[in-house]
């Protein structure tokens, strides 16, 4: 109370201007209103989510309980009193020692004044007294040091025990009293805004990349009937819906596909994948990836899926390619897009950067695309099923896994022809629909080597074959097959090769430096963990060698120019 009176007296001693005093009152009022607002918000929150209610202060661990601080202050006061008592005892001890020394000096002086015959007798006694005093003081100091050391060790041990006990109690408190979040009671939108981790209901994680065979891998995984959740933010996936899907489904493989890594949501969704699970990362020779991206093409914006037999030209003209950053298009792939913003200014090789965003990765399995090509595919899928607990591929599906999934039909198939009220689906035989039958042989069509089929609903087969103009229908479908064959041949013949990519980068220094930087930054982890994969990338090794040679030539050229300039200056 006295301290409060002293504070008030000192506060009143300061002179405030009326304006300053008004500002002070206004500030205090604003603080009070803010406190009321926060309190109202808190009570509204716990009405909606009772699990967020704060536990009472009495249940807090010692370090967080105000009562502990009060007791701690009392302990400090007790220690001050003990310190004063100790100092007093030290003073008394030093006083006693001083008196003992004075008495000893008087004895020595008296002994010195004795007669000569008695001095000889007194000297041994004096020395004995001196030795006894020294021994007594030494033993006393030694015992004091031992006691002090012992007390110190006991204090340290006690502090360690107290610290460990406090930490244990604190952790136990929060582990026992902290509310367990139930995603069933939290709306997906709120969970996303609160940055809550994705529900840990997925057993494995797969990081896939465009231009690396990710579509083929997904087809293989579907063939295994693996329970997957496919995340593709670039195609406008609503991130909030992930919470609902993971709550209602137990996922064997959470698949995340990346092309640009340019969105904030990309980084956020990666950081929320905090379950400690194994990870598959699909990789490929970067020069081969660049070739694939150049040759990839795009579907025409007005791409229809149902055509009449009179629209055969439109049925095969369904793909185009960018040729510059103004989005002008062409009918064939254009290698110069590597320099433009669509590819050259977007880093699609951020392997290391993406891995660094994902917490708690347990094990990273780098999967090179060459492992899922041709005859290696079936054995690779068997290994993956064992490593990641996925369904085992069936021996009867070996042909499916080892066959080549042709990208020459990209954006060309599937399509549907409408003949009156009958729909005929044209699709690759590898992706034959299970709810339809193949009528290719019934129509007696020559596929010209194309791996496609014509499919129809079973109930409509007899109706189609009974049509009076069946021969005309067959003729037009055959014309379509010929046009599709010519289109696929044109697509294949105009594809850019890896060697052309290397030649282009050799001639364009700026593009070469950009991709060199991308590769160096993105391949840090894989170079450390799987150098064998890096060494197997033929075209990447050629690119690295080319960069070294070009840098060496540039250094020689710069050196020659500087030498020539020095000669001119000295001459």
Per-residue pLDDT for 115 more than 80?
no
More confident residue, 45 or 363: 363
228-231 and 253-258 beta bridge pairing: parallel
Per-residue pLDDT for 156 more than 70?
no
Tell me the pLDDT of the chain averaged across its residues: 78
178 pLDDT band, cuts 50/70/90, is very low
pLDDT of residue 365: 96
pLDDT of residue 171: 43
Rounded mean pLDDT, 100-117: 46
- How distant is the alpha carbon of residue 334 from its chain centre? 34
> At CA 109, angle to CA 104 and CA 115, rounded to 5?
130
Rounded mean pLDDT, 416-445: 91
pLDDT of residue 195: 87
Contact residues for 527 (Cβ-Cβ < 8 A; gap 6+)? 534
Per-residue pLDDT for 559 more than 80?
no
Share of the chain above pLDDT 70, in %: 66
Q: Are 280 and 368 in contact (CB under 8 A)?
A: no
Radius of gyration of the chain (CA): 42
How far apart (Å, rounded) are the C-alpha atoms in residues 565 and 319? 55
How far apart (Å, rounded) are the C-alpha atoms in residues 452 and 472? 21
pLDDT of residue 109: 45
> What are the tokens at 557?
């050229």
pLDDT of residue 73: 54
Comparing CA positions, the residue from 420, 432, 427 lying closest to residue 463 is 420
Over residues 518-528, the pLDDT tens digits come to 999 999 999 99
pLDDT of residue 452: 94
pLDDT of residue 163: 47
How far apart (Å, rounded) are the C-alpha atoms in residues 312 and 477? 9
Per-residue pLDDT for 153 more than 60?
no
Share of the chain above pLDDT 90, in %: 40
How far apart (Å, rounded) are the C-alpha atoms in residues 451 and 412? 13
Question: Highest mean pLDDT: which of 35-39, 75-79, 216-220, 554-558?
Answer: 216-220
Q: Which strands make up the sheet holding 228-231, listed edge to edge? A: 228-231, 253-258, 205-209, 278-283, 363-368
More confident residue, 419 or 559: 419
| Out of 91-100, 313-322, 329-338, least confident range | 91-100
Bond from prior residue into 414 cis (ω within 30 degrees of 0): yes
pLDDT of residue 432: 87
| Class for the domain spanning 188-402 | alpha beta
Per-residue pLDDT for 65 more than 60?
no
- The pTM of the whole model exceeds 0.75: no
Rounded mean pLDDT, 199-207: 94
Q: In sequence order, what are the beta bridge partners of 426?
A: 415, 454
Rounded mean pLDDT, 216-243: 80
Rounded mean pLDDT, 100-110: 48
- How distant is the alpha carbon of residue 173 from its chain centre? 30
192 pLDDT band, cuts 50/70/90, is confident
pLDDT of residue 9: 52
């Amino acid at each position: 109370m006295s301290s409060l009176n002293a504070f008030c007296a000192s506060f009143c001693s300061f002179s405030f201007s009326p304006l300053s005093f008004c500002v002070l009152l206004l500030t205090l009022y604003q603080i009070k209103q803010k406190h009321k607002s926060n309190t109202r918000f808190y009570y509204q929150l716990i009405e909606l989510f009772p699990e967020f209610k704060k536990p009472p202060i009495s249940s807090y661990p010692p370090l967080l309980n105000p009562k502990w601080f009060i007791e701690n202050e009392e302990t400090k006061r007790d220690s001050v009193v003990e310190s004063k008592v100790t100092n007093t005892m030290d003073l008394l001890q030093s006083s006693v020692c001083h008196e003992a020394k004075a008495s000893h000096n008087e004895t020595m002086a008296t002994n010195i004044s004795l007669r000569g015959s008695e001095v000889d007798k007194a000297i041994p006694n004096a020395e004995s007294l001196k030795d006894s005093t020294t021994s007594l003081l030494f033993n006393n100091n030694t015992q004091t040091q031992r006691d002090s050391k012992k007390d110190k060790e006991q204090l340290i041990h006690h502090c360690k025990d107290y610290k460990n006990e406090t930490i244990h109690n604190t952790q136990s408190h929060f582990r026992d009293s902290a509310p367990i979040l139930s995603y069933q009671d939290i709306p997906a939108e709120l969970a996303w805004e609160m940055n809550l981790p994705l529900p840990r209901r997925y057993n494995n994680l797969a990081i896939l990349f465009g231009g690396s065979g990710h579509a083929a891998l997904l087809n293989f995984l579907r063939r295994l009937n693996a329970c997957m959740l496919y995340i593709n933010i670039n195609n406008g996936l609503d991130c909030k819906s992930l919470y609902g899907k993971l709550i209602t489904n137990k996922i064997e493989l959470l698949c995340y596909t990346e092309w640009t890594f340019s969105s904030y949501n990309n980084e956020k969704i990666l950081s929320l994948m905090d379950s400690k699970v194994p990870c598959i990362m699909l990789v490929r020779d970067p020069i081969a990836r660049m070739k694939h991206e150049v040759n990839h093409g795009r579907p025409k914006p007005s791409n229809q899926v149902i055509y009449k037999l009179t629209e055969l030209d439109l049925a095969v003209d369904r793909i185009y390619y960018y040729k510059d950053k103004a989005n002008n298009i062409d009918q064939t792939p254009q290698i110069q897009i590597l320099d433009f913003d669509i590819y050259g200014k977007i880093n699609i090789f951020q392997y290391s950067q993406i891995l660094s965003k994902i917490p708690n990765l347990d094990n990273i399995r780098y999967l090179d695309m060459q492992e899922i090509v041709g005859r290696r595919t079936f054995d690779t899928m068997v290994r993956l099923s064992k490593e990641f607990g996925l369904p085992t591929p069936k021996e009867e599906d070996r042909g499916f896994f080892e066959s080549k999934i042709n990208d020459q039909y990209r954006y060309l198939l599937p399509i549907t022809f409408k003949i009156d009220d009958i729909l005929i689906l044209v699709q690759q035989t590898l992706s034959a629909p299970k709810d339809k039958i193949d009528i290719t042989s019934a129509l007696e069509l020559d596929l010209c080597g194309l791996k496609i089929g014509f499919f129809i609903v079973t109930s409509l087969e007899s109706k189609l074959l009974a049509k009076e103009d069946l021969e005309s229908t067959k003729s037009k479908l055959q014309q379509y097959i010929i046009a599709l064959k010519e289109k696929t041949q044109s697509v294949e013949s105009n594809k850019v090769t890896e060697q052309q990519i290397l030649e282009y980068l050799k001639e364009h220094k700026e593009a070469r430096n950009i991709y060199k930087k991308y590769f160096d930054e993105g391949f840090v982890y894989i170079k450390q963990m799987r150098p064998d994969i890096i060494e197997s990338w033929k075209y990447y090794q050629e690119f690295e060698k080319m960069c070294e040679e070009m840098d060496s030539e540039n250094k020689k050229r710069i050196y020659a120019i500087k030498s020539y300039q020095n000669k001119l200056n000295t001459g």
